[in-house]
């Protein structure tokens, strides 16, 4: 870089020197021209004068020297113009300078175009990542009227339709859960990719992938268009920010419990679907399937 700058300066200095030398030469030539012009003018006038006396010709016979001097004078004027106007503004070095300015401008344009292309490709790459990330991260939960979801690391109610819906929705997808929820189940959920989040570094979970953070769990499920967050309370709390949809089963009853689902903020979540169900022989409580979408 340093040597490039040095060579740039050297080149500039060489050009300046060359320009100064050529200007000196041009001015010297002009000076010689002027001297020659004076000399020839005097000689021609003298000769003209001598011949006119010897031939006894009228004053008009001076005309040849007059015309010579007159036309030469214009030649000289042209030379002056050439040196002080043409060569000054349109000399080779001037042309070179204009050229290098143009080249600099072109280089600048190319640089800008390159930068724009880089920015565009970056935006494209980011949007590709975004598109990849444009998974529908979905929370699935069953919560009581008072937001209770569990007690003593167990579920409280049994609603077969809710279980059926859970199976239908999550089948074939990634299911992401906290270590406690995983341990509350008899085994990993079949036909799904189970991901367990724990802070423990050496935790082993049968038929499940173990990770140490929610973001890692999302990365692992990046190929899944709709990974599900299936609980429990700690994980739901963390996942609300990054989720796009909530599939809630609202159980219309208040329960005692130790684990809660966070309040659903109506400013952030919009209800998009609601299916109300009445209690029956298999369902001890009224319940409603509600879908919320995050307001973008
Ligand atoms: N009603 C429903 O729909 C539903 C669904 C699921 C669960 N539940 C209920 O919810 C209860 C369990 O919920 P819970 O809140 O107690 O536990 P949880 O959310 O299932 O799991 C908590 C565990 O996750 C890990 N964890 C939490 N934050 C973490 C982080 N930032 N980084 C790494 N690991 C992290 C920790 O594991 P380590 O301690 O190993 O580090 C923590 O102890 C149970 O009663 C269950 O039955 C209800």
- Structural domain containing residue 86: 2-129
**188 and 246 housed in the same domain:** yes
Q: For the segment 243-266, what is each residue's pLDDT rounded down to a tens digit?
A: 999 999 999 999 999 999 999 999
User: In total, how many domains does the chain have?
Assistant: 2
Q: For the segment 127-176, what is each residue's pLDDT rounded down to a tens digit?
A: 555 445 579 999 999 999 999 999 999 999 999 999 999 999 999 999 99
**What is the position in ligand 1's atom list of the atom closest to the CA of 203?**
40
Is ligand 1 within 6 A of the CB of residue 180? Answer: yes
**102 and 200 housed in the same domain:** no
Cβ count near 128 (within 10 Å): 10
**144 and 283 housed in the same domain:** yes
- Residue the block writes with tokens 């003209």: 48
Q: What is the mean pLDDT of the segment spanning 102-110?
A: 90
**125 and 141 housed in the same domain:** no
**193 and 102 housed in the same domain:** no
**Atom 38 of ligand 1: nearest residue by CA position:** 198
**111 and 147 housed in the same domain:** no
**81 and 140 housed in the same domain:** no
Domain limit, last residue, from 99, 129, 159: 129
Domain limit, last residue, from 112, 129, 146: 129
**221 and 286 housed in the same domain:** yes
**116 and 139 housed in the same domain:** no
**208 and 115 housed in the same domain:** no
Is ligand 1 within 6 A of the CB of residue 149? Answer: yes
Is ligand 1 within 6 A of the CB of residue 267? Answer: no
**Among residues 69, 95, 102, 84, which one has the least CA distance to residue 29?**
84
Residue 239 structure tokens: 């996942």
Q: Is the pLDDT of residue 96 over 50?
A: yes
Residue 196's pLDDT is: 98
First-residue to last-residue Cα distance in the chain: 48
Distance 270 CA to ligand 1 centre (A): 26
pTM of the model: 0.64
Residue 120 structure tokens: 């565009």
Distance 234 CA to ligand 1 centre (A): 5
Q: What is the CATH number of the domain that holds 235?
A: 3.40.430.10
């Amino acid at each position: 870089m340093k040597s490039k700058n040095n060579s740039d300066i050297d080149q500039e200095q060489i050009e300046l020197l060359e320009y100064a030398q050529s200007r000196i030469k041009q001015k010297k030539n002009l000076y010689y021209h002027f001297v020659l012009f004076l000399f020839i003018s005097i000689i021609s006038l003298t000769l003209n004068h001598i011949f006119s006396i010897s031939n006894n010709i009228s004053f008009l016979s001076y005309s040849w020297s007059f015309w010579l001097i007159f036309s030469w004078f214009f030649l000289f004027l042209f030379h002056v113009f050439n040196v002080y106007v043409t060569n000054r503004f349109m000399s080779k070095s001037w042309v070179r300078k204009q050229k290098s300015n143009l080249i600099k401008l072109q280089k600048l344009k190319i640089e800008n175009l390159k930068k724009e292309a880089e920015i565009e490709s970056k935006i494209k790459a980011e949007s590709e990542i975004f598109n990849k990330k444009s998974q529908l991260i979905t929370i699935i939960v069953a919560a009581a009227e008072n937001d209770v979801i569990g007690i003593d690391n167990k579920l409280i109610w049994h609603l077969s339709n809710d279980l059926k819906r859970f199976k239908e929705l999550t089948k074939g997808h990634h299911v992401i859960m906290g270590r406690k929820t995983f341990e509350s189940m008899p085994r990993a959920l079949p036909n799904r990719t189970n991901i367990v989040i724990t802070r423990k570094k050496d935790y082993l979970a049968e038929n499940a992938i173990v990770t140490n953070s929610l973001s890692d769990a999302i990365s692992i499920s990046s190929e899944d268009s709709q990974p599900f967050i299936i609980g429990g309370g700690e994980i739901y709390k963390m996942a609300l920010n990054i989720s796009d949809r909530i599939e809630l089963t609202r159980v219309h009853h208040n329960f005692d419990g130790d684990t809660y689902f966070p309040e659903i903020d109506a400013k952030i979540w919009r209800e998009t679907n609601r299916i109300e169900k009445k209690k029956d022989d298999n369902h001890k409580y009224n319940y409603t399937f509600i879908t919320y979408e995050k307001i973008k």
